[in-house]
Chains A and B, each alone.
Chain A
Amino acid sequence: MKKHSVVELQKIANQIRQDIITMLAKAGSGHPGGALGMADIFATLYFNILNHTPNHPTNPIRDRLVLSNGHICPVLYSALARAGYFPLVKLKSLRKINSPLQGHPDVNTLPGVETSSGPLGQGISQAVGMALAAKLDHKNHHVFCITSDGEHDEGQVWEAIMTANKYKLDNLINIVDLNGIQIDGYTKDIMPLESLEKKYLAFGWRVLKMDGHNLKQIINTLNKAKNTKNKATVVLAKTTMGKGVKFMENKYTWHGKAPKAKEAEQALNQLKNAI
């Protein structure tokens, strides 16, 4: 797929954000905060970084993207649709009966989705499994995993982190959505995680940091991550939950509730004016 420029990515990210608002307002439930916060990273992944072929979703040499924190799937669905995996019109069916766009991603219903996820902490283990398989087959593709900061409360995440270190999985890149917020409040209050940087370093990973809303930085950091040798890479991505919609930004109450029609209209106006 063509590598899009920063200017193009900006537009795509904005469009993804509008999709998220529209989808969630129509669905009447879902998680806008994390999805909006990751829009810049998803735009960059699907339109610049990933080596993928939307018209051949199961291409064995494709880069994999495992979304571990499945609840932010509107951002994934929008990115997939905009990349051409399925018609945009399907986005309207999010969370509706008989829709392939399940409330949490299902690998068997939607092309481009690599794993079923929802219960936290499971994606990173699956990403490790995929990275091990690639090594075994001497394939050069990368496995990207998206995890949230709150998700690191799960012990399984650390089990997987140890395994990635043991097998020196330099084809594995874990992007942590560091927005400091989880469903019940701020991560620092629910379960302090810091310093994630020191923890990952102690576990033998390469640690890169980026501003998750600076597109140029995202491109550079992810390319750097792809060139890591002999160890797995974590990219600590500082993001703003709800980014792009002022009344949602950094408010944990917007982790898991959909905007009402009025709120959605307001949000869409803000987004349209931003471009």
Chain B
Amino acid sequence: MLSRNVYDNVKLKSTRDGFGEALLELGKKNKDIVVVSADLAESTRIDKFAKKYPNRFFEVGVAEQNAMGIAAGLALSDKIPYVASFAVFSPGRNWDQLRISVALSQANVKIASSHAGLSVGPDGASHQALEDIAIVRTLPNMTVVVPCDYTQTKKATLESAKIKGPVYLRLGRPASPIITTKSSAFKIGVADVLLKGSDITIVACGPILYEALLAAKELQKRKIKAEVINLHTIKPLDKTTILRSVKKTKKLITVEDHQVAGGMGSAIVEMLAENYPVPTQMIGVRDSFGESGEPQELWDKYGLSHPHIIEAALKLIKKKI
């Protein structure tokens, strides 16, 4: 369900804030919830948990490989650890530890990784994770969740604790539009159809989903009805919802703040190629690093913002701009 004021006066709050708040709630409910920090407690919003539950908070310093391993050890001793860092470091730096200590072991570790995508902004290329979805979703036993806003991140965080096994939560740095409401249904593995339409399917994940909504609004003015799907769970992939939509629209646009190679769009087209191929345009970063700039400037420059989605839609519908 869309927030009522999603198009005007939309409220902004970061997904990492949603994570931090939900984590605090989890800590209160369940004493097995523990947190492993790699010196980014404030930035990943686990600092509140640290203050409230110091005994269940383990600060290991700038050592992401060790952080992941320690989390695995805690999980193998029946704790439910959340490892928090930036996505470029975790899973960027500790992917081998994620692969062996966590995924192969099916250790019950939750990986919360902030500062994903170009939307990191001014920190530039080194800190903008554009590959994390690709490297995480190729690991067996992983669940991969990319919540679209603050409200949904809270729900996703609470839900992640109920899953027995590793879960990757992709979080963003900037305050971003609150798209969903407190009462919107949320279930890991079940995509939300946010707008119904019959002409074209637009699937997006993460805060950039808002750009898809802006594009849909613009397309509506041109009498093109776009169906917008929030694919918050990339693994396991909700085949049913995607197939139902593309069988109706016969056209697909995927939108993500990530490399086109290996990301959410790839996951979708891999599935469609075997089941129901349709003409597709993939919006995402095309084999390049990012750079410094404001998030919106970067999304514009790298072809991810709503004008680019509109252009892709028109191309698919074979209308000239």
Contact = CB atoms under 8 A, between A and B. Distances in A.
Interface in B92-106: 96-97, 100-101, 104-106
Interface in B48-97: 55-56, 58, 60-61, 63, 65-66, 68-79, 81, 96-97
Interface of A is mostly: helix
A107 B105 contact: yes
Given A107-B76, A114-B76, A129-B72, A156 B66 contact: yes
Interface in B29-63: 34, 55-56, 58, 60-61, 63
A53 interface: no
Contact of A115 (B76, B78, B96): B76
A178 interface: no
Contacts of A153: none
Interface in A110-167: 114-119, 121-122, 124-134, 136-137, 155-156, 159-160, 162-163, 167
A106 B78 CA distance: 18
Interface residues of A, number: 33
B58 A116 contact: no
B101 to A, nearest CB: 5
B105 A136 contact: no
A122 B104 contact: no
Contacts of B55: 136
A129 B104 contact: no
B219 to A, nearest CB: 48
Interface in A161-176: 162-163, 167
A101 to B, nearest CB: 16
Contact of B69 (A106, A126, A131, A134): A126
B100 A130 contact: no
Contacts of B73: 66, 115, 125-133
Contact residues on B (Cβ < 8 Å of other chain), bracket: 20 to 34
Given A136-B55, A136-B56, A163-B66, A118 B76 contact: no
Contacts, number: 103
A184 B121 CA distance: 45
Given A117-B100, A136-B34, A163-B70, A130 B77 contact: yes
A44 to B, nearest CB: 24
A219 B189 CA distance: 52
A130 B76 contact: yes
A108 interface: yes
A122 B60 CA distance: 15
A167 B73 CA distance: 15
> 8 tightest A-B contacts by CB?
A129-B73, A125-B69, A133-B77, A159-B66, A126-B73, A159-B63, A129-B70, A129-B74
24 contacts: A66-B73, A114-B76, A116-B105, A122-B65, A122-B97, A125-B66, A125-B68, A125-B70, A125-B72, A125-B101, A126-B69, A126-B73, A128-B66, A129-B72, A129-B76, A131-B73, A132-B74, A133-B74, A136-B56, A155-B65, A156-B97, A159-B63, A162-B63, A163-B61
Interface of A: 60, 66, 106-108, 114-119, 121-122, 124-134, 136-137, 155-156, 159-160, 162-163, 167
Interface of B: 34, 55-56, 58, 60-61, 63, 65-66, 68-79, 81, 96-97, 100-101, 104-106
